[in-house]
Amino acid sequence: MKKVIAFVKSLLRVLFFLLLVVFIRMFVFEVCYIPSNSMEDTIMAGDRLVIGKLRYGGLLPRRIADVPLINILTLSKYLRENERCRDWGYGRAPALISIKRGDVIVFNYPKEAHVRMVKRCVALPGDTIRIEKGLVFINRRRIEFPATVILPEPQDKGNMMDFPCKSLGWTSNDYGPVAVPSKGMTITLDSTSLELYRNMIRIEGHEAFIWESEIYIDGVKATGYTFKTDGYFALGDNRGNSLDSRYWGIISERLIIGKAALVYFSRDATMKKVRWKRIGKVLE
């Protein structure tokens, strides 16, 4: 009998530990690796970051595959097939503080949900952003950035962009203006603006497309769209070498995982050396 009781106690300890791990991973913090230089000199390629989730509130799981440890069940072909049509809906834990302009945020890539991205939030819900000669203006006021941000030279015209529309003549250094939607805001859509908001509309559960110069949402002709959630506009700190909101539009709050908090390890992959001075660096 004593052996049974001891076994049960050990099992409960293991279960408690696993539940604690799941809770911390979902709602407190997780870690990620940075393979690119799009955030230099704030974040270097080879940095490993701690992502804080308490600040914005951790995302609630939408399916079994979103639950740490338990998602191993989706290795089963039967469960994996069922997962494709499962969706418990969007939700997140209560936030301690809202996202602020200048925060370095971590989010799921709007076009591929399994890809994590790290960028600096520059425009908040309700803002209007414009980039002129590489300088960022929010609501017609120029925004200053930390010294680690690599800005383009004023004479640099930037790259012609495939997004949102080449016909506008927008480049990575001369872009906008673009309105960042807030929850409940209705934005008028046309063939150009649709490309700015298409990903966010899709993430909110609707399909938007153009047919014979008319815009349709879920097969119904539309001239505008009312957003269900807040949107954000983010840029990489290495402005000349970053795929960000300039290329794929507004980021829905549904994609935001947390705030990049600090560097817990860093290694230069080219030189194969540990960057000791970066370990413990708090990200601003």
pLDDT one-digit tens code per residue, 68-114: 776 665 555 555 556 556 677 888 999 999 999 999 999 999 888 78
Q: For residues 19 and 50, what is the distance between their CA atoms, to the nearest angstrom?
A: 20
Average pLDDT score over residue span 134-152: 91
What are the angstrom distances between the C-alpha of 181 and each of 40, 79, 96, 203, 234?
A: 28, 37, 22, 14, 13
**Would you state the pLDDT for residue 71?**
61
DSSP-derived secondary structure letter, 76: S
Q: Which of 4-8, 19-23, 135-139, 205-209 shows the lowest mean pLDDT across its residues? A: 4-8
* Band of pLDDT at residue 187, cut at 50, 70 and 90: very high
**Closest alpha carbon to 108 in 226, 199, 229:** 199
Q: What is the average pLDDT value for the chain, to the nearest integer? A: 87
Q: Which of 116-120, 148-152, 180-184, 218-222 shows the lowest mean pLDDT across its residues? A: 148-152
Q: Which of 51-65, 113-127, 206-220, 230-244 shows the lowest mean pLDDT across its residues? A: 51-65
For strand 231-235 and strand 251-252, is the pairing parallel, antiparallel, or unpaired?
antiparallel
SS3 150: strand
Beta strands per DSSP E along 133-242 = 135-138, 141-142, 175-179, 186-188, 208-211, 214-217, 220-221, 224-226, 231-235
pLDDT one-digit tens code per residue, 34-71: 999 999 999 999 999 999 999 999 998 877 777 777 66
Average pLDDT score over residue span 188-204: 89
What are the angstrom distances between the C-alpha of 35 and each of 117, 126, 168, 177?
A: 10, 32, 32, 31
**Would you state the pLDDT for residue 161?**
60
Distance of CA 164 to the CA centre of its chain: 19
> Where are the domains positioned within the chain?
2-58+93-278
**Fold exhibited by the domain 2-58+93-278:** Umud Fragment, subunit A (2.10.109)
CA torsion angle 17 22 25 28 (round to 10): -80
**Would you state the pLDDT for residue 155?**
65
Q: Specify whether the CB–CB gap between 224 and 156 falls below 8 A.
A: no
The model carries a pTM of 0.88
**Would you state the pLDDT for residue 165?**
59
